Amino acid sequence: MSHATRPIPLSPVLSFSALRRARGTRTRSVLDAGEARFVTSGRIAIGLALREMGIKAGDKVLVPAWHSPSMVPPVLWRGAQPVFYQLRADTSADLADIVDKLDDTVRVLVVTHYFGFPQPEIATLRALCDARGIRLLEDCAHCLIGEHQGRPVGAWGDYAIASSMKFLPIYEGGLLVSARHSLRQVALRSAGPGFEAKIALASLEKAFAHGRLRAARAALWLPMKARDAAWGMLKRRTKAGAVPLAPDSSDSSFNFDPRWIDKRSSWFARLVTRLASPARIAAARRANYERIDANLRGLPGGRALYPRLPDGTCPWVFPFLADDPEALCERLRQAGVPVVRFGLPLWQGVDDSVCATSARLSRHVVGFACHQELQEQELAWMIETIRKALA
Ligand SMILES: *Cc1c(COP(=O)(O)O)cnc(C)c1O
């Protein structure tokens, strides 16, 4: 069996079951942590959070040495200076190094819950920030959903951000959340009808490309043709220098375009976010994660980054610590298995001298899809292909 003609989706795609509810217990998400604003990406939410905190030139923002390069431009946009702190091998923030780096100009500590696994010492980090008068920005880009020590993720930070695109079948979407501060003054407006249409149709097209929503595809064939025509017209009318129809964050670049700072997420993305069931998504992701874990355990060539999946954790991807990541990724690429390389490359200048652990994680961690929209045969084929690539 091969998936060469119908590639395995690396991130969730829209399906008829995507909005189905799960029975049983309620699962909380960052939306349960506090007041929320729907924006177009996680990085825009970081920019807004920093603006709300009054970050300006001369301020320093502590950023983990293992990061998405998209986390840094919002700091520079404020005129502030990013300072990179070290991580431990288990991806926890190195408290001693953070304390070492504190001075009067450090205003914000950014803490990332990698791959959906909450930072074990988040309560201590919160207490440290309170004691030193520093703001905590909780980066939930990898954990839209989850609970830790009895609270929803996002409840510790002064502000929390999320990247809804990483968990839901949508083309743009980020969240700014605060359990501590009012977001009343954060005013957002629509990016316009062209944007609204593009986002809805892009989600449908991605679903069709992966063989989902077949009935809808047939029904929509004519409207899609009409859309292509309208789209061409709209593009011709979009003047140079005007706000592009979708943010850079939607096409896997790390750019930060401040023109999106005051734009509301699309109607379609907000609808999907509101309708999606955290319980169903968490249950499916956890089951897929556990299955990948069980099937790769004990094989040569590497190991799971985390020894176990804690209760309440909803994983983003399955992070595998590969001995020879380049060879593994090349074999997987040839076979057609998509992978995530988080934090590769790192921000310019962040290397072994800044944090050897982060540099090693950046090079060696390979993420496998475990999202809720993987179909049984896709998951089975992916696991078998990874096993062969490791053997
Ligand atoms: C993806 C990511 C972001 C930014 O999210 P976008 O929605 O892509 O802008 C922030 N932090 C981390 C850790 C990420 O992986």
| Residue 197 pLDDT greater than 70, yes or no | yes
**Average pLDDT of every residue of the chain:** 92
> What residue ranges line ligand 1, CB within 6 angstroms?
41-43, 68, 70-71, 112, 139, 141-142, 163, 165, 174, 249
pLDDT digits (tens, 9 = 90+) for 324-334: 999 999 999 99
* Minimum CA distance residue for ligand 1 atom 1: 141
Mean pLDDT of 206-227: 75
Q: Which of 200-204, 346-350, 384-388 shows the lowest per-residue confidence on average (mean pLDDT)?
A: 200-204
| Residue 7 pLDDT greater than 90, yes or no | no
Q: Which domain holds residue 351?
A: 278-390
Q: How far is the CA of 45 from the centre of ligand 1 (A)?
A: 10
| pLDDT score at 252 | 62
Q: Which atom of ligand 1 sits closest to the CA of residue 71?
A: 10
- Of 250, 267, 246, residue with least CA distance to 198: 246
- Which residues does 330 contact at the CB level (< 8 Å), separation at least 6? none
How sure is the predictor about 286, in pLDDT bands with cuts at 50, 70 and 90? very high
Of 387 and 225, more confident: 387
| pLDDT score at 22 | 67
- DSSP-derived secondary structure letter, 227: H
- Of 156, 146, 147, 145, residue with least CA distance to 178: 156
How sure is the predictor about 184, in pLDDT bands with cuts at 50, 70 and 90? very high
Distance between CA atoms of 59 and 3, rounded to whole angstroms? 49
Residue 15 lies inside a defined structural domain of this protein: no
Distance between CA atoms of 339 and 193, rounded to whole angstroms? 34
Compute how many other C-beta atoms are within 10 angstroms of the C-beta atom of residue 21: 10
Q: In total, how many domains does the chain have?
A: 1
Residue 341 lies inside a defined structural domain of this protein: yes
How sure is the predictor about 135, in pLDDT bands with cuts at 50, 70 and 90? very high
Q: Which atom of ligand 1 sits closest to the CA of residue 161?
A: 10
pLDDT digits (tens, 9 = 90+) for 237-266: 655 555 566 776 766 677 899 999 999 999
Residue 283 lies inside a defined structural domain of this protein: yes
- At residue 331, φ and ψ (nearest 5 deg) are -65, -40
Residue 5 lies inside a defined structural domain of this protein: no
Q: Which atom of ligand 1 sits closest to the CA of residue 44?
A: 9
Residue 309 lies inside a defined structural domain of this protein: yes
Residue 285 lies inside a defined structural domain of this protein: yes
How sure is the predictor about 219, in pLDDT bands with cuts at 50, 70 and 90? confident
- CATH value at residue 386: 3.90.1150.10
Whether the Cβ atoms of residue 63 and residue 38 lie closer than 8 Å to each other: no
- At residue 83, φ and ψ (nearest 5 deg) are -125, 125
Mean pLDDT of 140-165: 97
Mean pLDDT of 358-362: 98
Give the Å distances, CA to CA, from 373 to 10, 108, 168. 10, 36, 9
Give the Å distances, CA to CA, from 304 to 20, 261, 299. 30, 37, 10
Residue 282 lies inside a defined structural domain of this protein: yes
What's the first-to-final CA gap in the chain, in angstroms? 19
Residue 284 lies inside a defined structural domain of this protein: yes
Q: How far is the CA of 249 from the centre of ligand 1 (A)?
A: 9
